[in-house]
Structures are given as C-alpha cells and as structure tokens.
C-alpha cells in the first residue's frame, strides 16, 4: 500500500491553516520559508504575487512523499502594491487611500511536489466604503491591521468596511479554495478523503 502524500503548509498564516481545514485538510507540517518579499522596481502587482508564491515554494524544503503549498496575497490600486504596513501610520495611509474606492486583491498559490511547481493566481475586485477618521482610528486600535496586506483583513472587523466584492472571498482572506483544491489534487493530495 502506498503512503498518502503529506501536505506541508509553507506559510505561518493562521488564516491559511483555517482555510485548508475547510477543504478537510490538516497539514502534516507547517514550514514558513524566509524570503525577501521586497517588490522589484517597477514590478506589476500580479507579477510580484506570482513571483513571491513561486519563490516561497522554491525555498521550501520537502522530503520524498511531501507536497508544499505556498501562497502570497497583496492589495493593489492600479500598479501600486500595498503590502503589509510597517506601522499604524502606514496602515492608516493605506486605509485612507482605499476609502471609498475599488481595489484589487491578488492571491497566488504555488504547489511544489517532486514533479515541479504548479502556480495559479486569482484577482478579486473589492470596494471599500468611505471611511471616517473615527472608523480608521477605531480599526487601527484593534491591531487587526498588523501583518495584513493593504492594512486590513476582510474576515475581521474591517469586513464592516467592504460592501461589495467580485471574485473569491477566500482569496481575499489569503487562499482561493477552488484553485487550491485543484492544484493539490493535481499534486496527489487527497482533498475530502
């Protein structure tokens, strides 16, 4: 009898762990790779996210019988990448820039197995309602902005700021479930087994 393929999550994100559970999956291990996530000069947001997911997968050590899942999410306005804010001031600047406007959230997923790396990306359009200073300051006080692309998390208190999305809600959270399940099945991981 063949050993089942072991899934390794190449991310420290608790949200990605929760989203994998929605697919009936619990990773065998969690190993977040340490890479430089600085965008290249003039790099387009979609190219950046795809490169990050691919580099994370390449940097992840896997043993025989293991498959690693890595992902990267960014928020962008036009060609401007709004990564993880360095501090509350930058988070406030991001939120004020997003206030009352549409933006894109792009998530790329990379799955690496012995057969190589498979990659998919998902683009979701998101509209944020106009935000008052009281709302921005109240949100910043929650600390929920920390470590979040664009300075917000749709599944947390900032969900009250988002009246409309077009695309994948789970991708905005950090892991598009349909595409992830497809990539994992292609790599031999049993989803809902």
Closest listed residue to residue 98, CA positions, set 168, 135, 151:
151
- HSE-up of 21 (CA within 13 Å, CB side)? 6
pLDDT score of 1: 47
In the block, residue with structure tokens 């994370």:
56
- Residue 174: both structure tokens together: 């950090």
Q: With the C-alpha atoms ordered 180, 184, 185, 187, is the resulting torsion angle positive or negative? A: positive
How far apart are the C-alpha atoms of 67 and 85, rounded to whole Å?
31
Q: pLDDT 10s per residue in the chain (193 long)?
A: 456 789 999 999 999 999 999 999 999 999 999 999 999 999 999 999 999 999 999 999 888 899 999 999 999 999 999 999 999 999 999 999 999 999 999 999 999 998 899 999 999 999 999 999 999 999 999 999 999 999 999 999 999 999 999 999 999 999 999 999 999 999 999 887 6
Judge if pTM exceeds 0.75: yes
Mark 126-146 as b/e (b = at least 16 C-beta within 10 Å). bebeebeeebbeebbeeebbe
Distance of CA 5 to the CA centre of its chain: 23
Q: Which residues contact 61 (CB under 8 A, 6 or more apart)?
A: 31
How far apart are the C-alpha atoms of 27 and 24, rounded to whole Å?
10
Please tell us whether the domain made up of 6-186 is placed in CATH 3.90.950.10.
Answer: yes
**What's phi and psi for 2, nearest 5 deg?**
-80, 140
pLDDT score of 191: 87
Catalytic residues: 72
């Amino acid at each position: 009898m063949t050993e089942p393929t072991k899934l390794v999550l190449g991310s420290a994100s608790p949200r990605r762990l929760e989203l994998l559970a929605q697919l009936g999956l619990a990773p065998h291990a969690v190993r977040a790779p340490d890479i430089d996530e600085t965008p290249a000069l003039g790099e387009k947001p979609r190219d950046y996210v795809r490169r990050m997911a691919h580099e994370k997968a390449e940097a992840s050590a896997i043993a025989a019988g293991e498959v690693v899942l890595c992902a990267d999410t960014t928020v962008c306005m036009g060609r401007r990448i709004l990564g993880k804010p360095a501090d509350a001031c930058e988070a406030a600047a991001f939120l004020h820039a997003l206030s009352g406007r549409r933006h894109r959230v792009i998530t790329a997923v990379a799955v690496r197995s012995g057969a190589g790396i498979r990659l998919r990306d998902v683009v979701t359009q998101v509209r944020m309602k106009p935000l008052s200073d009281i709302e921005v300051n109240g949100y910043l006080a929650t600390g929920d902005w920390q470590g979040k692309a664009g300075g917000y998390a749709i599944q947390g208190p900032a969900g009250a700021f988002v009246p409309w999305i077009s695309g994948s809600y789970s991708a905005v959270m950090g892991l598009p479930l349909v595409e992830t399940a497809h990539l994992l099945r292609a790599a031999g991981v049993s989803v809902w087994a």
